[in-house]
Amino acid sequence: MIKNDLYLRALKGEIVERPPVWMMRQAGRFLPEFRELRGQYDFFTRCQTPELAAEITMMPIRRYPLDAAILFSDILVIPQAMGMDFEMREGAGPWLETPIRTLEQVQNIEVPNVDDTLGYVFDAIELTLIKLNNDIPLIGFAGSPWTILCYCVEGQGSKTFDKAKTFCFQNPEAAHLLLQKITDTTIAYLKRKVEKGVSAVQVFDSWGGMLSPQDYQEFSWHYINQIVEALSEISPVVVFGKGCWFALEEMTLSKASALGVDWTITPENARRLTGGNITLQGNFDPSRLLSPPETIKKMVTEMINRFGKDKYIANLGHGILPNIPLENAEAFIRAVVDWREN
């Protein structure tokens, strides 16, 4: 049904002519046409207006020969649907006036009906699918429960997420209750996204690497795996854990179709830890897109050769940076599209 299904074939582990390519956080930030919209609508208005979200999703697709689109949205729409009033502050990022710090606050949070609270996302999917015209697959996403807890407890971004950790370590009962409520909401949300027509879902565990391997099991993986179990029945699931190389062996045993890795691990080690059988996605250092286009091309070719063309999705090791020149992003994508077996 989808004309270019390279991404979906790579997720299934099929033999492909070249790896598919997309870039994490491709819909936004570094694109001048995205920044232009900033003056007109605030961030969450862009997320909540299906026509805008669909149009932003298409921005990188119109510019580059990408093999997948990712729906423009944010991981924080989940805590918003659960009643937490996140704003996006210019220059400062996410902001929650009253962060979650007590068991009582968590007990008062309800698992919402996703159709009532997140209908705008499902409408955005519908509009985006029309615009995509079955050319390439659309990826849906959510944050991991741990990564979302980080913002709910901290109330904003952080270098260490020490308040989130304090909450988990001093008040594990409250932490687990919150993580479970986020998990239940996320499962309902992602299932609905799949029903609406996204071809795969990705879970972003951006702050999983802040935890020790043991704490990662308890506070992050335990919940991600519930999402993987529930969603894998109806869709391929990709788990991206930034800094989570220590959990790759465990992740490989799950029903995830693919694992995202960041640039701090070599392709050889990532293959070794995952047994060589699961599809991997990554792992170009996002700041390496600041190199000259010729260097980017060489490094991308080497990255593909080291991961191998099959069971591989070329991507960055984390989201694209806002200061990446358009032609450098293009060099990255072209290097994958033009890659040939030699």
Answer yes or no: are the C-beta atoms of 316 and 22 closer than 8 Å. Answer: no
Binding residues for substrate: 25-29, 44, 74, 151, 206, 318
Q: Please say if 120 is a catalytic residue.
A: no
Stretch that binds ligand CP3, among 67-75, 100-108, 162-170, 251-259 (CB under 6 A): 67-75
Site for ligand CP3 in 130-159 (CB under 6 A): 141, 143, 147, 157
User: Among the options 7, 64, 151, 189, which is catalytic?
Assistant: 151
Judged by CB under 6 A, the residue of 7, 30, 64, 72 near ligand CP3 is 72
Of 5-13, 70-78, 215-223, 255-263, the segment contacting ligand CP3 by CB under 6 A is 70-78
Catalytic residue among 29, 101, 120, 215: 29
Residues in 240-269 at the binding interface with ligand CP3, rule: CB under 6 A: none
Query: Smaller CB distance to ligand CP3: residue 16 or 179?
Result: 179
Question: Is 74 labeled as catalytic in the residue annotation?
Answer: yes
- Exposed e or buried b for every residue in 94-129, given b needs 16+ CB within 10 A? bebeebbbeeebbeebebbebeebbeebbbbbebbb
Helix (H) or strand (E) holding 62: helix 50-63
Regarding 75 and contact with ligand CP3 (CB under 6 A), the answer is yes
Judged by CB under 6 A, the number of residues near ligand CP3 is: 23
Q: In the chain, how long is the greatest CA-to-CA distance? A: 61
User: What share of residues in the chain are helix, strand, coil (percent, to 5)?
Assistant: 50, 10, 35
User: Using CB under 6 A, which of 58, 74, 163, 171 touches ligand CP3?
Assistant: 74
The answer to the question of residue 319 lying near ligand CP3 (CB under 6 A) is: yes
CB atoms < 10 A from the CB of 259, how many? Answer: 24
- Which element (helix H / strand E) includes 150? helix 145-154
Q: Taking CB under 6 A as the criterion, which residues in 162-221 touch ligand CP3?
A: 204, 206
Q: Is 112 in the site for ligand CP3 (CB under 6 A)?
A: no
Instruction: Report the residue from 11, 27, 100, 280 that binds ligand CP3 according to the rule CB under 6 A.
Output: 27
Q: 177 near 217, Cβ under 8 Å? A: no
Candidates 12, 17, 38, 255; binder of ligand CP3 (CB under 6 A) is 38
The pairs formed by 153-159 with CB atoms below 8 angstroms and a separation of 24 or more are: 153/99, 153/100, 153/101, 154/99, 155/95, 155/96, 155/97, 155/98, 155/99, 156/92, 156/93, 156/94, 156/95, 156/96, 157/92, 157/93, 157/94
Structure tokens, 31: 């694109």
Specify the residue, 16 or 168, whose C-beta has the smaller distance to ligand CP3: 168
Answer yes or no whether residue 26 interacts with ligand CP3 by CB under 6 A. yes
Evaluate whether 172 touches 106 at the Cβ level (below 8 Å).
no
Q: Does the annotation mark 38 as catalytic?
A: yes
**151 annotated active-site:** yes
| Nearer residue to ligand CP3 within complex by CB, 157 or 172 | 157
Question: Buried b / exposed e across 301-317, counting CB within 10 Å, b at 16+?
Answer: bebbeebebebbbbbbb
Nearer to ligand CP3 by Cβ, of 11 and 27: the residue is: 27
- Calpha distance 322→146 (Å, rounded): 25
* 320: Cα within 13 Å, side-chain hemisphere: 24
Q: Kindly tell me which of 16 and 132 has the beta carbon lying closer to ligand CP3.
A: 132
Give the residue numbers marked as catalytic: 25, 29, 38, 74, 151
Residues at the contact surface with ligand CP3, assessed by CB under 6 A: 25-29, 38, 43, 70, 72-76, 88, 93-94, 141, 143, 147, 157, 204, 206, 319
